[in-house]
Structures are given as structure tokens and as C-alpha cells.
Chains A and B, each alone.
Chain A
Amino acid sequence: MDIEQYKHELKNNYERAVFLKGDEIEARETARYSWAAKNILGKKVLEIGCSSGYGFQFLGVVDYTGIDYDKRIIDVANQQDWHPNAKFFHADINTFELEQYDTIIAFEVIEHLDNGLEIIEKLKKHCKRLLITVPHKEPKGFWGEHHKLHGLTEYNFPNFKFNYINEEGRISKYLEALSNENHCNLLIGSWDKKETVLCSIATRGRYHSTLPMVIQAILNQTKLPDKLVIFDDNDEPKDLRQDFLYAHLFYMLDVKGVPWEWKFAGKKGQHHIHQAANTAGYDWVWRVDDDAIPEPNVLEELYTYATTAYKSESIGAVGGSVITPPVPLQTLNSTGLIENIEKEPNVQWGMLNWVKQVEHLYCSFLYRAGINDYHLGLSRVAHREETLFSYGLHLKGYRLLVIPDAITWHLKNPTGGIRSETNAALYDKDEQIFQNFLKYKDRTIVVLNCGMGDHVVFKSIINELKNPLIFTCYPEIVDGEPISKAIELFGNIDRWNIYQKMAQWEWTESLQDAFRKLYK
């Protein structure tokens, strides 16, 4: 068949853009895929209505899946041999089994579907970012019978951010007038999954000192959290709903639309409290101490950096300055490296002029939930818990940032406090665990407190791990130190319990991949 005839037929009376490898791509196609390349979030990308797959070449090397309802065009896409990372499937979006993607692209697809707007809602459940183009206010019949939805405008797509693209491929914030040269504009827009923030306060012995100040400061935030939870770890917890001060604070939370919950904790240590917040199903957790008073812009600043900074998907936590009055320390020269923790003031103890990447954070910060565990093996005083927790995020490859202009005043209330435990032996034990982590910071610590078969499966990934230090139940299968040694060095070893982890992750993939997730 003549290739031009073939392409013409595939174009389906100009209803499908078809370009083969090496073809010159039309301006509007180039413009929108170049825009997509700049706006892609993450690496895993699905494109609906991918045609011959020509869009892939604009997107850089990503984990790309393209689907199209037309089998012939998928055959063409596969023949192009675009890249090993690009996979193409013949599928109908109504029945295609969607996975979770970082970005889904649907360029001029929605208007072809009777249920296009329902499909948009379905796609939103399967991605962090959705990129679309649709004809803007297209009259019925303007582009023939293939379009099922007409007259689409910004109002059909709530929570999208839109620009316009004219027939020459110019993208603008402003709608261009229709003319003989510009018959129809497209809407080109993106929708981002709203990331939720839980604000978590662990408190003990501060009902009528600094805790109400902290709650008031949360209420005054320019960005309010999606929920506030207060973990009450007092020896004699009280119902404060009738208390004059708290009754008004709770009233203001209700009026401002901040769901709140007062939970009585189990006096097992604040790491247990933080783990409850960490696994509560929110995207981010803002941990605030019960004597740390954030200025009104703090959550907004932390959240903005966490979600919109360059390569934000790799950000694990963001903290601001945590200043103990009266005078901030000079910390501009602090490195924030874990190995210098005893040698320099913490970066967060001073005012910064610029963003600094560090290896550990202190006191109050916003962190990506569910990535790392607070099962740190520590005693109930949980000495060093925030350092170990945040450093764990760093070890998992996430960036930790300290940012300027986000100040929390740490009053260091001398009475009460979540660490009001005075047993020095517990502090010493926690410090020893911390020092052991530092000692082995360049090793991947592996604790195989599981069955024989699990050991066999773990062994298959051992070569993928960086410098592993292994503790094992079955040395005849995986060589290593005894489990008792791991307990001696690191206290509670539940953080490495692969079954607890899989339960926590609601795991549905292979055991082998679960080990990879835990240790890589």
C-alpha cells in the first residue's frame, strides 16, 4: 500500500494525527507535546489515544504506555520501534485496566467519547497529573461526526489550569480570535491531584501552657491543613471540650472547616504517635511540637516547596527555621550532614537566606507520609527520633530541604513535654542505637526475621543492594550475623519485618519486589 494513502486512511478523514518515525510533525502537535514534556510529573506515563506514538519522542525517556482504540494504528506504533521504554496496546479506555501513573496524557480524546467527562473523573483516580487538550467551544458538526462532545469550555473541567493553543501551535494565556487562519482553538490544561496534609501534634503536660498557643497558630495558617490530630500522651488525659479555652479553639477549627481529632495516646513514646500520623492515609504530615509556634505562613511555605519545587517528586521533607528565643544561632555554615551532627549547630536553629539540602531534620517539619517508618527501635523517650526518621528518608533517596522564611518559635517549655521521661538509661540506650546507625550509615542494614522461603526470595535481590549488612535466621540460605545481634545494635527490629511492611503498604505485588522496596 502507498504509505501516504495508508497514512491518509489512518488519519480517518483528518480526525487522527499520524506521523511515522522521521516525519516532520505539524506545529500544533509539536507545541502541545513540547508543552507536555515540560509539564510531565514523574516517570510513569500513560497516553490515551496515542495514535502512531509520535508524541513519545517529545517526552524524553519515560516509562511510557500508549493505548488507542484502533488496532491498526497500534500496529503502526509498534512498527516504529520508538524506544524500549515505550509500549503500545490496543485498548478501549472504557475497559482498559488502569494502573497508577504519575502522568496521564489525553490529547484530543475526550471529545470523541460520549462519556468523555466521566472518563476524565476516572483518569483522575489513576494519576497525579492529567494533561488534556480539547477543542474550545467547538460547534456541533464543526469537525464532523467523530466528535461526540461539543461546546466544551473551562467550566467543564473544574480544578484544571488552562491555556489556549491556536491552529498554528501558539500556546497563550489568552484566547485567540477565530479567523480564516485560526478556525478553532484548543484548551490545553493540567490537573494535579490535591495532596493532603495532616497536621500532627504530640502533647504531654502542656494543656494550659504552650499547647493552646500552638493550636491557635495552626488556626492562623495561611494554608490550613486538611486535618488536625492531637495525640494526648498525658498520664491523666482530660476531656477538654468544656474547657473555656479549648471550647473556643475547637469552635474556631469547626468554623474554619478544619476537621480535628483528639486522640489519647498509649504512653509508648512519641515515635508510636508519629507512626500513627505517618500511616493515616495523608500525602504529607506536618509534625508540630506542643511548644513550637509556627508563624502563619509556615505550612504554606513548606507545602509550596514540597510540591512545586524542581523535581518535587524526590522531596521527602521540608523544614523551616526552628528558633529558640531570644537569639537565633548562626547556622549558615552548617552542613546538615549526619556525620557532623555533634560538631555543628543544626541548620534549622538559625535563619537561612537560601534553601539548603540536608541529611536530617529537627523538631517540626513537613514530610512525605508512608515512605519511611517511625519503628526506630527506640525506647519510650524516643531520643533522636526525628533525626533517625528524617535521615531514613534521606537514605531512601529523598531530598530533605531547609527553607528560608518559614519560622517556628520553639519555646522549649520547661514544664511538660512529650519527652518528660527522666530515666537516663532510656536516653543512653536510644543514643547507643543512634550511634550504631551512624556507624553503619554506609551499609544497607538487612534484618531477615522471617521464614526460610522468604530468605530464598530475598537472596535473589542481594546483588542489587549497596554494601549490605545482613542479619539472618537461616545462615545456610543467606549468610550473615544472628538476629540477636541486630536487636542488640538497633533495638526493636520491627521496621525490617517484611510481613508488617507488606501489610502496611497493602501490598499486592511480589514478595521479591517487597524486599526491593524495603531495602533499595
Chain B
Amino acid sequence: MADYYETKDLADFSNIGEYSPKLGEKYFDYYGEAMKAGALSAREKALIALAVATTQKCPYCIDAYTNSCLSLGVSAEEMMEAVHVGSAMAAGMVLAHSTQMRKIIKKKEM
């Protein structure tokens, strides 16, 4: 377990095509296209990626996109706002599932 989530493993990300180079190449092509500036700026995409990274609790992605945001001149306050968007979405998803609970309560209670 001690070897899980080591900081230096982020640098190994470029090798994820190992054992399956064709699929790896397709993934990186897709990733590159999706992440480059288009209708949304590189800055906006980095903030979306940071919010996703935190909600999905991926330490590599949090490392990568905190650094990307810093490099793109995003302030700490802007990054925290993006994290709160992710957090609010996650909270909403939990609360939305209380619908099921509330329906059951209403059905079961006299």
C-alpha cells in the first residue's frame, strides 16, 4: 500500500500506453483535442478539469491541474470557487438521491 499514489507516479502518466500502444495513442489524441483551447479557453478548461479532479478525488489530476491553473495565471480564489462548484454539484447529487428516501418514507409512514 505504501507505493500507492506517489507524487513521482504522475510523471509516469505518459507511459500508460504501455502494453496497449494503439489505444494509448488514441487516448492521448482524444485528450489533447478535448483539452486544447477552442470555444472555451485553456483557462476555463483547466478550471473545469480541476473541479472534476477534486470531485473524483484523483491526486494526480489535482496535482496536474492545480499547477496548470497556476501557470495560466488563475488565482487561488478562482480555483477555490471552481472547487466549490464541484462541491456544490456533489452535494446536490447526494441530496437529489434523498428523493428516493423521501418517496419510501411517504409510502411507508401511516
Same complex for A and B? Answer no
